[in-house]
Amino acid sequence: MQYQTSTQTASTISAGCIVVTLDGAGKLSDSANAINVASNGYIQDRFNAKDIQGKLAETLLLPSVPGITAQRVLLVGTGSEPLHAGSATKVLNAIAKATAKLSGSLVVALEELANETLNAAWWAEHSAMALVKTQYRYTTTKKAAEDDNSAPDTLIWIGSDQLSALHKGNAIGNGINYCKTLGDLPPNICTPSYLADQAHELAHTNTLKVTVLDEAELAEMGAGAFVSVAKGSSEPGKMIIMQYQGGQPDEPAHLILGKGITFDTGGISLKPGLKMDEMKYDMCGAASVLGTMQAILALQPKINVIGMITSAENMPAGNASKPGDVVTSLSGKTIEILNTDAEGRLVLCDAMTYAIRHLKPATMVDIATLTGACMAALGEVNSGLFTQDDTLANELIAAAQHSHDRVWRLPLEDDYQELLDSNFADIANIGGPLAGATTAACFLSRFSEDTPWAHLDIAGTAWGGAGKSKGASGRPVALLVNYLLAKQ
């Protein structure tokens, strides 16, 4: 997709399609009105004839409107309430859907919708993002439909110069689509080694330093928690480190760490068979780190960012960990593995210790499909946010609001820590039936030392839908990119 801005009027600009809006009372935006005047009231007639009523995200595609230059007009309803990020996103998704298969240029007259909460840059960024996102197709192991090859080639923004916002939205949209591709890949393709190859591929075309730690090195180092998960699989586990330097070399980096369990059977604490295929999505934290790094590389912010992935396959096997095993983590703390299905925290804790010791980040945010309990609590709407650091919490919440990639802060108080007491080790890897999302976060908090750290549980938000609409969501790439860009 190409991006341009223009100050031409809606009635005379040439376009494959021009997008203009009207509200729930039938009030036309300035651009809709310009088209209405040039066409002798054709738009007003559509409203009067109830072809469109202006309801939120309602669309009407008009193939030829007399008296104007554009080949098509898409009328979009904005409803009767002031727009906020949620309703505005609905409007943009409706536009993206209605124009997804048109060819040529797409002109959008949406700056007129800017208000106190959503400025012109927000609209431009989210317009580009919505259009890029609708172009997502899974094609690795299934061909695209034959009629599915046209798409708008240029997005032209009418109004002020919003090129940088358009490019930001484009980069985030591409990062989201990349994250979705990785999430949707089958687990026999998307292995820890495949994720490491992806990191090298990002480094190939960009300025990114990639380091991959293999299972033998990690065992040698003493990462007993990580190895306790990886050892039961014939796919070798890996930790992947991607260092982007946009700031000064001595400036501490902001680190994002993704859980990359490329398939989670539960191990010896085997999961039930129903929907077990969905455990291919247990690497979506890792996928969101790759998607975010791709966007960061496209946008080149002046900060240092480290994307890290801790990746393994959780399998039952003769040499797999057993409930009751006690292992020593890289930090030196011993862990009683009471349930081999609580493996995410085991691969994450050693990655946190490695990062703190060797990479000394300014901040650390982990992203993980960690608990069914978080999914039960927050559904597919909000990711769970856990941190004791209010500054970090506020930064992540602000980024979530801007991107409409929402989070809800859940408790992480010391009172929950005792649920992880073990008779035989420093800490148990599960905390019983209560507060499952919080006890998982408590477990991780034991390994954060003095580094400002936050945990995002994306178990409910990383993928969703059922039947034809089942797939990875690309979350929380938009949140992470906005969070990192605000560090500039």
Q: Which of 392, 383, 430, 432 is nearest to 410 (CA)?
A: 383
Contact characters 76-95, ligand BES, x per CB under 6 A: --------------------
Binder of residue 252, out of Mn ion, ligand BES, Zn ion, none (CB less than 5 to 8 A by kind): none
Catalytic (active site) residue 271? yes
Contact status, residue 277 vs residue 286, Cβ threshold 8 Å: no
Q: Is 271 exposed, middle or buried (0-12, 13-18, 19+ CB in 10 A)?
A: middle
**Interface with ligand BES includes 377 (CB under 6 A)?**
no
**Interface with ligand BES includes 372 (CB under 6 A)?**
yes
Options 111, 341, 366, 405; binder of ligand BES; rule CB under 6 A: 341
Binder of residue 339, out of ligand BES, Mn ion, Zn ion, none (CB less than 5 to 8 A by kind): ligand BES
Instruction: Return phi, psi of residue 99, to 5°.
Output: -110, 0
Find the part of the chain contacting ligand BES (CB under 6 A) among 204-212, 339-347, 384-392, 442-450. Answer: 339-347
- The alpha-helical segments, DSSP class H, found in 108-233 are 120-134, 163-184, 192-205, 215-221, 224-230
Most distant CA atoms of the chain, gap in Å: 83
Catalytic (active site) residue 487? no
Structure tokens at 263: 């398939």
* Tokens 């960061």 belong to residue: 296
Find the part of the chain contacting Mn ion (CB under 5 A) among 103-111, 257-265, 286-294, 374-382. Answer: 257-265
Residue 58 neighbours by CB distance under 10 Å? 17
Contact status, residue 226 vs residue 328, Cβ threshold 8 Å: no
Min dist. Cβ of residue 340 to Mn ion (A): 8
Structure tokens at 84: 């906020």
Min dist. Cβ of residue 53 to Mn ion (A): 48
Q: Of 271, 333, 409, 487, which is the active-site residue? A: 271
Structure tokens at 58: 């309602």
Residue 241, helix vs strand vs coil:
strand
For helices 163-184 and 120-134, the axis angle rounded to 10 degrees is 30
Residue 173, helix vs strand vs coil:
helix
Binder of residue 215, out of Mn ion, Zn ion, ligand BES, none (CB less than 5 to 8 A by kind): none
Min dist. Cβ of residue 410 to ligand BES (A): 14
Q: Which of 312, 318, 342, 326 is nearest to 193 (CA)?
A: 312
**Interface with Zn ion includes 282 (CB under 5 A)?**
yes
Estimate to the nearest angstrom the gap between the alpha carbon of 390 and the chain centroid.
22
For Zn ion, the closer CB: 344 or 361: 344
* Tokens 């209560």 belong to residue: 434
Find the part of the chain contacting Mn ion (CB under 5 A) among 98-106, 118-126, 188-196, 343-351. Answer: 343-351
Q: Of 180, 238, 259, 345, which is the active-site residue? A: 345
Min dist. Cβ of residue 219 to Zn ion (A): 21
d(CA 136, CA 355): 33
d(CA 339, CA 34): 65
Min dist. Cβ of residue 281 to Zn ion (A): 9
Options 239, 342, 399, 407; binder of ligand BES; rule CB under 6 A: 342
Options 111, 125, 184, 282; binder of ligand BES; rule CB under 6 A: 282
CA atoms within 13 A on the CB side of 246: 20
Options 196, 212, 375, 377; binder of ligand BES; rule CB under 6 A: 375
Residue 73, helix vs strand vs coil:
strand
Instruction: Return phi, psi of residue 386, to 5°.
Output: -130, 125
Total of residues contacting ligand BES (CB under 6 A):
16
Min dist. Cβ of residue 266 to Mn ion (A): 5
**Interface with Zn ion includes 440 (CB under 5 A)?**
no
Min dist. Cβ of residue 470 to ligand BES (A): 13
Find the part of the chain contacting ligand BES (CB under 6 A) among 223-231, 304-312, 342-350, 478-486. Answer: 342-350
Min dist. Cβ of residue 56 to ligand BES (A): 31
364 has which bridge partners? Answer: 255, 453
Options 23, 235, 264, 405; binder of Zn ion; rule CB under 5 A: 264
**Interface with Mn ion includes 341 (CB under 5 A)?**
yes
Find the part of the chain contacting Zn ion (CB under 5 A) among 20-28, 46-54, 113-121, 342-350. Answer: 342-350
Contact status, residue 412 vs residue 438, Cβ threshold 8 Å: yes
Instruction: Return phi, psi of residue 260, to 5°.
Output: -125, 60
How many residues are there in the chain?
Answer: 488
Contact characters 407-446, ligand BES, x per CB under 6 A: -----------------------x-----x----------
Residues that bind Mn ion (CB under 5 A): 264, 341, 343
Point out the residues that are catalytic: 271, 345
Residues that bind Zn ion (CB under 5 A): 261, 264, 282, 344
Residues that bind ligand BES (CB under 6 A): 264, 282, 339, 341-344, 369-373, 375, 430, 436, 459
